[in-house]
Amino acid sequence: MDSYSNRFGISKRYSYKTDLYPKSLLDESFPGSLFAQYYGTNIVFSNGDVIHVFVESAIKLLNVMEKVDNEPIEVKDLMHRLTLDVLGKAAFGFDFNNLGDPKNVYVTSYNEVLEELSKPIYYLISFLEHIVPRTEAIKKIAKLNKLYDEMVERKIKSMKTGELDEKINNKSADLLENMIHACNDPENPTLTSEELRHNLAIFMLAGHDTSKKNFIYLFIDVQKKVRDEILRVLGDDLTPSSEQQKELKYMNMVINENLRLYPPVDNLPRRIPLNDITLRNHVIPAKTPIYVYIYGIHHSSKNWENPEKFIPERFENEKHDHYAWLSFNSGSRLCLGINFSLIEQRIMLCTLLRKYEVSLPANSIHKDKLQIASESSGTMGPHPLPLIFKRRTD
Ligand code: HEM
């Protein structure tokens, strides 16, 4: 048994075989629901090389910040704008332009759909929508789906002209182009345009809802140390190369510690074990829904010394149990966007900290402790979080 299996008394057979714990499908959890219609049953392929996307968006972020100095800005809004633009470009080469024009039709359609899909009442009373049809919500989804469908069609056409093959060969293809290319392989079953769209939709949710909530909340106290490291490693470069990212050791520890204290996915989507499980002296019968409470694992004193304290140095030599830090899950269902997300966070920190001194407004509700809340979408984020960004002069 490995240390995780030992501690939790689960036999290794069960701790590794994620195929014995299939995720429950949306259509099973919410049969015929709007969630199932919108996200479908999807799979996701690789992310490709997307560094240029981060750099472009970091520059746009600075343009937005130029207009404000030394006044509170709502960082939840800022992160929503940044991460949607980054993801749209990486996923299907589309610029939502949420940083440039947050009221444009694509951003508003996306926001409206997410708002509809995350209404808690439909999670609590899953049959409600079968009694009262959600006509307005259906219209909003149809509008966004049309946008996704147009993307898919345009890319399929570019495959016929050979443009897509060229992009695949020079590794500049986005996720959707990679998916379309993979579907063209006669050895693999082809995804329909609808399935391609479902994959896009779930990719946007998995990547955007998590990233936008993952602002580095507590870096304020340690920002000088992070900034000194950025200036030392990057010199005059605006964004870090892959090599430089590895050298940003303290920043990487801060990112890990932030994700430990405030994991955006606080609770893994439920699993339904196929067989009975023996956990210590307890038997969990097959088909019992299981939730893994990541927030609890990250805040348990059995796993971490002074779990409520922000101590980036605890990651110095990675002494902790591998399964005590599950921000991106682990094993075969590890988050597919882990590298994408880590690069995004590093670039964002480098961009902001070299230019700005960050502080909480005097009347902030977060003065003593960050105020957070779980949401029905299965993610966790802060209550409104205005921060002051003061331009550095030295
Ligand atoms: C801080 C940011 C993020 C966090 C904390 C996070 C966390 C997670 C977690 C915990 C899972 C596992 C869910 C499960 O086991 O049921 C997951 C899955 C996934 N994530 Fe992320 N994620 C983040 C960012 C992203 C980004 C940026 C992308 C896309 C670029 C992404 C794409 C995915 C996908 C596609 C899956 C499904 C993998 C599968 O089911 O096999 N994530 N993520």
Assess whether pLDDT exceeds 50 at residue 308.
Answer: yes
Cβ(269) to ligand 1 under 6 A? Answer: yes
Cβ(206) to ligand 1 under 6 A? Answer: yes
Query: What's residue 124's pLDDT?
Result: 62
Model pLDDT for residues 124-180, shown as the tens digit of each residue = 666 666 666 677 878 888 888 888 888 888 888 887 788 888 888 887 888 888 888
3-state secondary structure of 155: helix
Q: Look up the ipTM and state it.
A: 0.97
Q: Are 107 and 84 in contact (CB under 8 A)?
A: yes
The pTM score is 0.83
Assess whether pLDDT exceeds 70 at residue 38.
Answer: no
Query: What's residue 217's pLDDT?
Result: 65
Cβ(230) to ligand 1 under 6 A? Answer: no
Residue 120: which pLDDT band, with cuts at 50, 70 and 90? low
Write the CA distances from 222 to 77, 79, 136, 178, 217, integer angstroms. Answer: 23, 20, 46, 40, 11
**Domain 216-359 superfamily per CATH:** Cytochrome P450 (1.10.630.10)
Assess whether pLDDT exceeds 70 at residue 346.
Answer: yes
Ligand 1 center–CA 265 separation, angstroms: 8
Instruction: Please tell me the residue having the least CA distance from ligand 1 atom 21.
Output: 335
Write the CA distances from 220 to 133, 158, 216, 258, 362, integer angstroms. Answer: 46, 46, 8, 12, 14
Joined tokens for residue 147 = 């946008």
Cβ(340) to ligand 1 under 6 A? Answer: yes
Asked if the domains 32-212 and 216-359 are classified in one and the same CATH topology, the answer is yes
Model pLDDT for residues 369-387, shown as the tens digit of each residue = 889 988 766 788 889 999 9
Assess whether pLDDT exceeds 60 at residue 29.
Answer: no
Ligand 1 center–CA 335 separation, angstroms: 4
Query: What's residue 284's pLDDT?
Result: 94
Query: What's residue 117's pLDDT?
Result: 75
Known binding residues for heme are 335
Least confident of 2-11, 18-27, 286-295: 2-11
Cβ(214) to ligand 1 under 6 A? Answer: yes
Residue 240: which pLDDT band, with cuts at 50, 70 and 90? confident
Query: What's residue 329's pLDDT?
Result: 92
Top mutation candidate among 335, 339, 340, 372 for ligand 1, by most atoms within 8 Å of CB: 335
Query: What's residue 12's pLDDT?
Result: 37
Joined tokens for residue 131 = 């009694």
Angle at 200 (CA atoms; ends 199, 204), nearest 5 degrees: 115
Q: Which residues of 270-305 are buried (b: 16+ CB within 10 A; e: fewer)?
A: ebbbeeebeeeeeebeeeeeeebebbebbeeeebbe
Cβ(181) to ligand 1 under 6 A? Answer: no
Ligand 1 center–CA 44 separation, angstroms: 10
Cβ(290) to ligand 1 under 6 A? Answer: no
Q: What spatial distance separates the first Cα and last Cα of the chain, rounded to whole Å?
A: 55
Instruction: Please tell me the residue having the least CA distance from ligand 1 atom 13.
Output: 268
Query: What's residue 127's pLDDT?
Result: 67
Cβ(379) to ligand 1 under 6 A? Answer: no
> Which among 293, 321, 295, 318 has a CA at the least distance from the CA of 308?
295
Joined tokens for residue 249 = 């050791």
Instruction: Please tell me the residue having the least CA distance from ligand 1 atom 18.
Output: 335
Instruction: Please tell me the residue having the least CA distance from ligand 1 atom 1.
Output: 211
In angstroms, rounded to a whole number, what is the distance separating the alpha carbons of residues 16 and 334?
Answer: 12
Cβ(25) to ligand 1 under 6 A? Answer: no
> What would the mean pLDDT of 337-357 be, rounded to a whole number?
89
Average pLDDT, the chain: 81
In angstroms, rounded to a whole number, what is the distance separating the alpha carbons of residues 224 and 353?
Answer: 9
Assess whether pLDDT exceeds 90 at residue 1.
Answer: no
Task: Please report the atom of ligand 1 found closest to the CA of residue 271.
Answer: 16
Ligand 1 center–CA 231 separation, angstroms: 31
Angle at 11 (CA atoms; ends 9, 12), nearest 5 degrees: 125
Model pLDDT for residues 291-300, shown as the tens digit of each residue = 899 999 999 9
Domain positions in the chain:
32-212, 216-359
pLDDT over 70 for what percent of the chain? Answer: 81
More confident call, 137 vs 246: 246
- 23 half-sphere exposure, CB direction, 13 A CA radius: 13
Known binding residues are 335
In angstroms, rounded to a whole number, what is the distance separating the alpha carbons of residues 152 and 102?
Answer: 24
Residue 212: which pLDDT band, with cuts at 50, 70 and 90? confident
Joined tokens for residue 286 = 């097959």
Joined tokens for residue 148 = 């996704």
Ligand 1 center–CA 159 separation, angstroms: 29
> What would the mean pLDDT of 255-282 be, rounded to a whole number?
92
In angstroms, rounded to a whole number, what is the distance separating the alpha carbons of residues 221 and 219?
Answer: 5
**What CATH number was assigned to the domain covering residues 32-212?**
1.10.630.10
